[in-house]
Amino acid sequence: MSGAPRTALAAGCWLCHDCALLCRVPATTGHGARCPRCGAALHPRKPRSLERTWALVIAASLCYLPANLLPIMTVTSLGKAQSDTIMSGVTYLLHHGMWPLAAIIFIASVFVPVLKLGILVLLLVSVGRGSRWRPVERTRLYRITEAIGRWSMVDIFVVTILVALVRLGSLATIEAQAGAVFFGAVVVLTMLAAESFDPRLIWDRSEETRR
């Protein structure tokens, strides 16, 4: 042990997740540590953060394909049924000159999930390899991921509202399709993945190698 401990972990202190009490944990003990105040299990970092995040990112990637290939909703208007995938909806809007709307849908539904998955994979790979490359920027990327995660739900909300509102019998009916389920799963899974990733891991490696 040399130099001033710059992190709580290095100082042998863990922070309780629930009541935020800083506890000193004996160095030999790994498991079974509990908060003396509220009794919550103590972990130095989010437990098995990389593994969980990997699992969720992989699951989200698996769901991303059907979410884009399957139709997300079917509009039945005067007996004429039309199923649309996300991309066909975007191209439809583009063809009809509504490019701002097309841009919103494209960014929220196609670009953002890909961006999130890409950032998470980048973080996971870099943390897994113990990279010391630009920790500040990587942390910023992580914050962006967390911030934009929920905006992808715009599509799901639109479909949900339309399905509930447009029930005009034979005149017009809108039904959600399998694609919407997968798309919802992508959004939820990426949010969970971002949640389970512990950004402190980015800094742990830089600290260790600095010592």
Partner 1 sequence: MSEQPRPGDVAEAVIETRRRPSIVWLIPLVAALVGGFVAWRTYSERGPAITITLASAEGLEAGKTKVRYKNVEIGLVEEVRLAEDLSSVTAHARMVHGADRYLREGTRFWVVKARVSGGQVSGLGTLFSGAYIGMDPVLAGPSARDFRALDVPPVVTSEEPGRHFVLRSYRAGVVDVGSPVYFRKVQVGEVVESALDPSGDFATVRVFVHAPWDERVRAGTRFWNASGIDLSLSAEGVRMDTESVVSMLIGGLAFDTPVDGDAEPAAAEAVFPLYESFAATREEMYTLRTQYLLYFDQSVRGLVPGSPVEFRGIKIGQVRDVKLEVDSSGQHFRIPVVIEVEPERIGNIPGDAAARRAAMDALVARGLRAQLARGSLLTGQLLVALDIHEGAAPARIVWQEPYPEFPTIPTPLEEITERLTQLVKRIEKIPFDQIGADLRGSLAAAQAALTQAEKTMASTQALVGPDSAVNQELRRALVELTEASRSLGLAADQIEREPNSLLFGKGRK
Binding residues for partner 1 (CB under 8 A): 48, 51-52, 55-56, 58-60, 62-63, 65-66, 70, 78-80, 82, 178, 182, 185, 189, 196
Q: How far apart are CA 44 and CA 54, in angstroms?
A: 20
Give strand ranges (E) for the chain: 13-15, 22-24, 73-77, 80-84, 172-176
Specify whether the backbone of 79 is left (phi greater than 0), alpha (psi in -120 to 50) or beta: left
Amino acid sitting at position 72 = I
Q: In angstroms, what is the minimal distance from the CB of 58 to partner 1?
A: 4
**Selection from 186, 182, 180, 188 nearest residue 73 by Cα:** 180
Nearer to partner 1, 48 or 134 (CB): 48
Minimum CB–partner distance for residue 53 and partner 1 (Å): 9
Is the distance from CB of 194 to CB of 54 less than 8 angstroms? Answer: no
Residue with tokens 């509504």: 98
Least separation in angstroms between residue 62's CB and partner 1 is 4
- Minimum Å gap between C-beta 59 and partner 1 is 4
Amino acid at 65: L
Cα–Cα distance, 73 to 97 (Å, whole number): 21
Residue whose CB is less far from partner 1, 65 or 161: 65
Give the shortest CB-92-to-partner 1 separation in angstroms. 11
Specify the residue, 46 or 132, whose C-beta has the smaller distance to partner 1: 46
Give me the least distance between CB of 138 and partner 1, in Å please.
22
Q: Which of 211, 207, 210, 209 is nearest to 44 (CA)?
A: 207
Closest to 79 in 3D by CA, of 171, 174, 177, 175: 171
**Looking at beta carbons only, is 102 or 192 nearer to partner 1?**
192
Q: Residue 92 or 133: which CB sits closer to partner 1? A: 92
Cβ proximity to partner 1, 152 vs 196, nearer residue: 196
- The span from the CA of 181 to the CA of 66, in Å, is 9
